[in-house]
């Protein structure tokens, strides 16, 4: 039993020795092997420095390279496209132009560069184009499509754009092509203020949209638009007629110039406006036959007159109205002082009347017309001749205008009035 165990131990020792010998041969006696590492990225150093100098790389003829190398098998396991670095230094460039930069290969810290032989590089130098880097603010313009819906006003002049300008950074030859930045919006169906976010298009002088390369960028690709929309309305102009002086609304022919105006404002304010819109009140008693008046156009707050007028001309002509002077002999005394008698010196007075022509003609033909003068002597307590103010009373023709007072001569004397012959 002991002999078999010893024999097994000797076999294991022999196997271990064989493995160690193989490792020695691989690592020391036959250390080298060839391989190709492909697609190693080429990194350009100094990009921040270039940007600080107002420069940008706009073209690079090679993005990666491949290496054919000879090294030990141990090193091969450590070398791949991720561990090998290839750099080209652009930090010394100070002017726009074309340059050839040397590609420098760096191996990982775990591999000595002297232990690796580079047999071939697919790229020794990388050719680049350096352009001037510029920054340009571009104002945003609003382009409205459609004419707007009937009865509404699109207030393009009050539109709010956020941001109002966009900064474009990139190569000068790209940025210099920009003529304007535009957002477009169709207003054909708008009935209320629009708040939308719209994409920006950069156009050249010919109106063609510019597509930026990867080297150019804009500070914003969309713009927030607030576009006010107001309600519009055609308003008839008019005046309120106040009857008086024997003249009513049916006797007045009113001409207004302009007869209508167009206004705009918030929908609730505009729709609450009276139509016709009252410019003011005209007292017809102050008009003889023809009169022209100018009314200032005073609109409520929040209402804008699109038409632009500030004054409205109103002409009033009276039709079917006559004036006349008619005799009145019905003069009545009241409140004569006790113990006195009063005698009228004035027997008949002519009073001015105005009203419809038909009523005036009827009044003139009818002596018993219901109009009389009332003389009140309640304030008189002595005899003498007096001129008293009599009140003109119109009981039966309310639509006819008559004077309010007229002077009457009366004589007051002591003594009771004589009884009439009928007593």
Give the CATH number for residue 338.
2.170.120.30
Q: Domain range for residue 88?
A: 24-123
| Domain endpoint, select from 202, 227, 252 | 227
Are 29 and 115 part of one and the same domain? yes
Q: What is the pLDDT of residue 5?
A: 67
Give domain status of residue 327, yes or no: yes
pLDDT for 369 equals 78
Do 186 and 249 share a domain, yes or no? no
Domain boundary among 123, 157, 184: 123
107 and 113 in contact (C-beta within 8 Å)?
yes
Whether residue 2 lies inside any domain: the answer is no
For tokens 């009228």, name the residue: 344
CATH code: domain of residue 278: 2.170.120.40
* Same domain for 326 and 312: no
pLDDT over threshold 90, residue 172: yes
Same domain, 314 and 333: no
**Does residue 352 share a domain with residue 326?**
yes
Last residue within a domain, chosen from 201, 227, 253: 227
205 and 283 in a single domain? The answer is no
222 and 160 fall within a common domain: yes
Per the domain annotation, does 421 fall within a domain? no
Give the global pTM.
Answer: 0.64
Predicted confidence at residue 25, as pLDDT, reads: 52
**368 vs 214, higher pLDDT:** 214
Co-location of 315 and 332 in the same domain:
no
Residue 7 lies in a domain: no
Full DSSP string of 120-161: EES-SEEEEEEEEEEEEEEEEEEEEES---TTEEE-GGG-EE
Give residue 36's pLDDT: 94
69: which residues sit within 8 A by CB, 6+ positions away? 34, 35, 36, 37, 79, 116, 117, 118, 119
Residue 7 has pLDDT above 80, yes or no: no
**182 domain residue, yes or no:** yes
| Closest of 227, 221, 195 to residue 138, by C-alpha | 221
CA distance 176 to 388: 99
3-state secondary structure 18-32: HHHHHHHHHHHHCCE
Positions of E strands within 266-383:
277-283, 290-296, 303-305, 311-318, 321-328, 331-334, 340-344, 349-356, 371-376
Per-residue pLDDT at 21 exceeds 70: no
Inside any domain, residue 12: no
Answer whether residue 305 shows pLDDT above 50.
yes
Confidence grade of residue 20 (pLDDT, cut at 50, 70, 90): low
210, pLDDT greater than 90: yes
Residues 210 and 139 in one domain: yes
Instruction: Decide if pLDDT at 421 tops 70.
Output: no
Residue 269 host element (H or E): helix 267-271
pLDDT in tens, 124-137: 999 999 999 999 99
Same domain, residue pair 340 and 403: yes
Same domain, 181 and 245: no
> Mean pLDDT score of the chain, rounded to an integer?
89
Q: CATH number of the domain that 114 lies in? A: 2.170.120
Asked if the structure places residue 296 within a domain, the reply is: yes
Judge whether 263 lies within some domain.
Answer: yes
User: Does residue 198 contact residue 184 with C-beta atoms inside 8 Å?
Assistant: yes
Closest among 132, 203, 214, 212 to 172, alpha carbons compared: 132
Q: Determine phi and psi for 365, rounding to 5 degrees.
A: -85, -15
117 shares a domain with 33? yes
Give the pLDDT band (50/70/90) at residue 355: confident
Q: Judge whether residue 351 has pLDDT over 60.
A: yes
In the chain, the number of structural domains is 4
* CA nearest neighbour of 223 among 138, 154, 322: 138
């Amino acid at each position: 039993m002991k002999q078999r165990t010893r024999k097994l131990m000797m076999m294991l020792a022999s196997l271990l020795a064989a493995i160690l010998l193989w490792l020695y041969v691989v690592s020391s006696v036959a250390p080298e092997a060839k391989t190709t590492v492909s697609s190693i990225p080429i990194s350009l150093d100094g990009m921040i420095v270039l940007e600080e100098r107002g420069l940008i790389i706009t073209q690079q003829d090679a993005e990666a390279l491949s290496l054919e190398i000879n090294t030990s098998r141990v090193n091969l396991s450590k070398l791949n496209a991720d561990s090998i670095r290839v750099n080209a230094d652009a930090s010394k460039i100070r002017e726009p132009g074309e340059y050839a930069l040397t590609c420098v290969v760096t191996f990982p810290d775990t591999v000595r560069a002297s232990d690796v032989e580079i047999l071939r590089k697919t790229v020794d130098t990388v050719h680049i184009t350096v352009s001037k880097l510029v920054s340009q603010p571009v104002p945003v313009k609003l382009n409205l499509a459609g004419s707007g819906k009937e009865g509404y006003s699109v207030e393009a002049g009050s539109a709010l754009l956020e941001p109002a300008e966009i900064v474009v950074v990139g190569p000068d030859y790209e940025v210099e092509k920009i003529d304007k930045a535009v957002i477009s919006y169709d207003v054909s169906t708008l009935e209320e203020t629009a708040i939308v976010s719209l994409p920006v298009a950069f156009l050249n002088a010919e109106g063609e949209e510019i597509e930026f390369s990867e080297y150019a960028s804009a500070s914003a690709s969309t713009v927030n638009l607030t576009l006010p929309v107001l309600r519009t309305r055609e308003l008839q102009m008019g005046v309120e007629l106040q009857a008086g002086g024997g003249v009513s609304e049916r006797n007045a022919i009113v001409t207004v110039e302009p007869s209508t105006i167009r206004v705009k404002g918030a929908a609730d304010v505009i729709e609450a406006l009276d139509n016709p819109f009252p410019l003011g009140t005209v007292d017809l008693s102050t008009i003889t036959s023809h009169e022209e008046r100018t009314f200032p156009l005073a609109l409520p707050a929040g209402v804008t007159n699109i038409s632009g007028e500030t004054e409205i001309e109103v002409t009033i002509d009276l039709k079917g109205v006559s004036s006349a002077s008619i005799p009145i002999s019905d003069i009545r005394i009241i409140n004569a002082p006790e113990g006195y008698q009063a005698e009228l010196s004035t027997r008949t007075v002519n009073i001015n009347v105005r009203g419809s022509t038909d009523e005036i003609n009827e009044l003139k033909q009818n002596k018993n017309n219901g109009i009389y003068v009332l003389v009140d002597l309640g304030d008189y307590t002595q005899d003498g001749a007096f001129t008293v103010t009599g009140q003109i009373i119109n009981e039966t023709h309310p639509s006819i205008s008559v004077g309010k007072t007229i002077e009457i001569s009366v004589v007051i004397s002591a003594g009771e009035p004589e009884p009439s012959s009928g007593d």
